[in-house]
Structure 1
Amino acid sequence: MKKWLLVFVSLLLVFAMGACSTQTETTEAPDTTEAATEAQETEAPEETEAESVQTEDEEAQTPADALIAFTKAELDKQLAPLPESGQNEKVGALIISLTNPFWVNMENRYMEAAEELGIQLEVLSGTTEGDTTSQLETLMTMATKDYDAIILSPIEGTNLIPGIVQANQNEIPVINLGPGVDEEALQEAGGHLDGKITVNFEEQGEMVANDMIGRLPDGGQVAILQGLSGAGQSEGRTAGAQRVFEANDTMELVAVQPCDWDATIAYDATKDIITANPDLKGIFAVNDVMALAAVEALKSEGREDVLVYGVDFTDDAKAAIQAGEMTGSVTYSTEIYTQAGLMMAMKIAQGQELTEPVYCPLTLVTVDTVDQYEDWR
């Protein structure tokens, strides 16, 4: 029990440190450090028989389950007051593309959450991660339907603005989940968002860069593989990592290469970077698809000594981390994230207003901790 408690407390500290904020709007993370310290210092009373049973149940809980419960508690605080139980609300969710395993997982989590909450849900997407036109066309069609709310994740900050304006005109509330809509451009177009739930993309980049620096005590050359130019998650992750790398005198950022979320482009870019910089020590690819491509490119060059990080903690990335081929991946609970987005839609449908953005806590899974995330979802 003591061993599990120490693992759980330490994971909560790391997880809470990754809780999201933005440069313009922030949500204060709960102070878990003091609470954890007090928990360690307080002498435990004798256990009753009932308490002993509860302790056995706690021991059976995995660290992944504990972190998911922590995430839910944090988001429930931000969502309070919570909506009433599902009243068969009809919600449309627009994701980016089913060509990326992350968004396939998001679709599955959305549908599971909708069934649990008792609402109707339709999940739609564009054709590919870079097809901004098809995603907008999909939203324009959604804006003509009788949804109680639409939840959307744009490919770029501006590509869905005409569709959002159309939904506004048809009095369908719009919630932005994940990659951010350019709200200044949206306002100029006469539109608005009714709610926002996201993660801090810059924080994701910072977490990776700091971990990489910790594993390279002598410093060295590093590179970043970006996603699609203009995509909020790519820009934010790049900016966060770049800022940390450039603030450290021992690190040299030798390349920041756009790869359009494409595995083939990332593979070729990695080969070019390692050829031009044979002393390269680390690569941060801003999603797992590109990170896995980088791993394959490095293998083809006989270079398995380069640290490789990604974002999303997909099943393939998890396997690569367990095999020691990737060093880490930033993640958050997509189960709770999608559930929270749907609860925001329910609140609006039930007449409540969403006055503040909602932020989902983050964590970094590494080769040192991956076995503790077997049940992550």
Structure 2
Amino acid sequence: MKKKIRLFSVAAAFMGMVLLAGCNSGQEANGGENTERVAVVLKTLSSPYWKYVEAGAKAAGKELGIDVTVVGPNSESEVMQQVNMIEDQLSQSPGALVVSPTQPDTVVPVLEGANVPVLLIDTDADLKNKTSFIGTENYEAGYEGGKLLASMLQKGDKAAIVSGALGNTATDERVKGAKAALKEAGIEVVAEQPADSDKTKAMSVMENILQKNNDIKGVFAANDDMALGVLRAVEAKGLDVKVIGTDGTLEAVESILAGKLAGTIAQSPYDMGYEGVKNALAAIKGKKVEKRIKSRVEVITKENAQEKLEFLKKIVE
């Protein structure tokens, strides 16, 4: 009988240890607190720019000891795929949601149904339950790009603009800013076409533009992938056309150093991802979060491209 009691006691102790381990499985070493989870839904994960945002978000998660999930559609034109991803992440009950909405009007109804803090990065939206917006003032970025392009041209020269996907407010605002700066400088914008933030599409779009306007002297592209696509079309024709991009990706900076791309307006995507997660955790803990957190823009030309390249290589290692 004593042997049976001893066996029962051992079994009970073992079960207690299993239950305790189960309770502690969601805890971290940092004070024994439950690990918070932040879901991050980007416009895509297929371009270098969004890889920098992802790197920043994951770095914040690692540093702060929280679980960070980063997802994104196959391309920026996959609006409904992004909506589905947002719904999927919300169904998993994260502590907070960080989103860069591709098409804000389509995404907002889903976000307004969220019962967790919602932070927007890169692209803002008219969202009632928005905790914060973290990102570049895209009009300002576009204006700087237009100003940079105009400084390389003569008054009266012709230019073209290659925009992003229809309804993408971030690239739309950049285009508005660039057009304003070019107009002020007396540069005539003779063509404007969307290329969905895609390199291959931008090359095709630029080929079409050049068929009707082979005297173009400059192009502003609303992101760097499109700028590089435009550059391919220009080089194939053997033309001397100044091409300015936006975002400051590694490939674009390398192209600037090689004397190909004329310049880019660099955002701070790594910082956006990092600050998005950092402020999401603050919101989860009930701390005050600024309604608008502005990230800087930087004009990149051959003069400062090497320094930018070294920084970019460091964050993607």
Same-fold call, TM > 0.5? yes
Which residue does 1:144 correspond to in 2? Answer: 91
State the superposition RMSD in angstroms.
1.7
Structure 1 residues 87 and 117: alpha-carbon distance in aligned structure 2, compared to 1, 3 A threshold: farther
CA distance in 2, matches of 1:293, 1:321: 14
Q: State the partner residue of 1:362.
A: 297
2:76, 2:150 → 1: CA distance?
A: 31
SS in 1 for 2:101: coil
C-alpha offsets along residues 12-56 of structure 1, whole Å, 9 cap, x if unaligned?
Answer: xxxxxxxxxxxxxxxxxxxxxxxxxxxxxxxxxxxxxxxxxxxxx
The answer to whether the 8 Å contact 1:140/1:166 transfers is no
1:297 aligns to 2:297 (yes or no): no
SS at match of 2:112: helix
Gaps of 5+ in 1: 1-85
Q: What residue is the counterpart of 1:324 in the other structure?
A: 259
Is the contact between residue 54 and residue 270 of structure 2 (CA under 8 Å) also seen in structure 1?
no
What is the match of residue 372 of structure 1?
307
Aligned-partner Cα distance in 1 for 2:163–2:267: 20
Q: How far has the Cα of 1:349 moved from its partner?
A: 1.3
Superposed displacement of residue 247, structure 1: 2.3
Q: Match of 2:244, as an amino acid?
A: Y
Is this contact kept in 2: 1:199–1:362, CA < 8 A? yes
* Superposed counterparts of 1:193-272, under 5 Å: 193-249=130-186, 251-272=187-208
Offset, 1:87: 7.1
Q: 1:162 aligns with which of 79, 88, 109?
A: 109
For residues 302 and 101 of structure 2, what CA distance do their matches in structure 1 show? Answer: 32
Question: Could you state the TM-score of these two structures normalised by the residue count of structure 2?
Answer: 0.84
1:44-86, Cα deviation, whole Å (9 max, x unpaired) = xxxxxxxxxxxxxxxxxxxxxxxxxxxxxxxxxxxxxxxxxx9
Unaligned runs of 5+ in 2: 1-32, 313-317
Per-residue deviation at 1:223?
0.7
Aligned equivalent of 1:23:
none
**8 A contact 1:199–1:359 mirrored in 2:** yes
Match of 2:56 among 99, 109, 126: 109
Instruction: Give 1 or 2 for the bigger CA radius of gyration.
Output: 2
Q: How big is the shift at 1:311?
A: 1.1
Normalising by the residue count of structure 1, what TM-score does the alignment of the two structures yield?
A: 0.71
Flag as ranges the 4+ runs of structure 1 deviating above 6 A.
none
Aligned partners of 2:165, 2:213: CA distance in 1, in Å? 24
Give the partner amino acid of 2:276. Answer: G
Contact 1:87 1:119 in 2 (8 A): no
Amino acid across the alignment from 1:157:
P
Q: Tell me if the contact between 1:143 and 1:163 (Cα under 8 Å) persists in the aligned partners.
A: no
Query: Partner amino acid for 1:201?
Result: N
The Cα shift of 1:108 comes to: 2.3
Please give the alpha-carbon distance, in whole angstroms, between the structure 1 residues aligned to 2:289 and 2:309.
Answer: 34
The alpha carbon displacement at 1:128 in A equals: 1.9
Kindly, what percent of the aligned residue pairs are identical? Answer: 26
Residues 325-340 of structure 1 aligned to structure 2 (within 5 Å): 325-340=260-275
Of 350-359 and 226-235, more deviation after overlay is shown by 350-359
What SS does the aligned partner of 1:160 have? helix
Alignment of 1:66-215 (within 5 A): 88-167=35-114, 171-181=115-125, 183=126, 186-187=127-128, 192-215=129-152
The 2-side partners of 1:234 and 1:339 are apart by: 22
Task: Measure the CA separation in 2 of the matches of 1:287 and 1:200.
Answer: 14
Secondary structure at 2:103 match in 1: coil
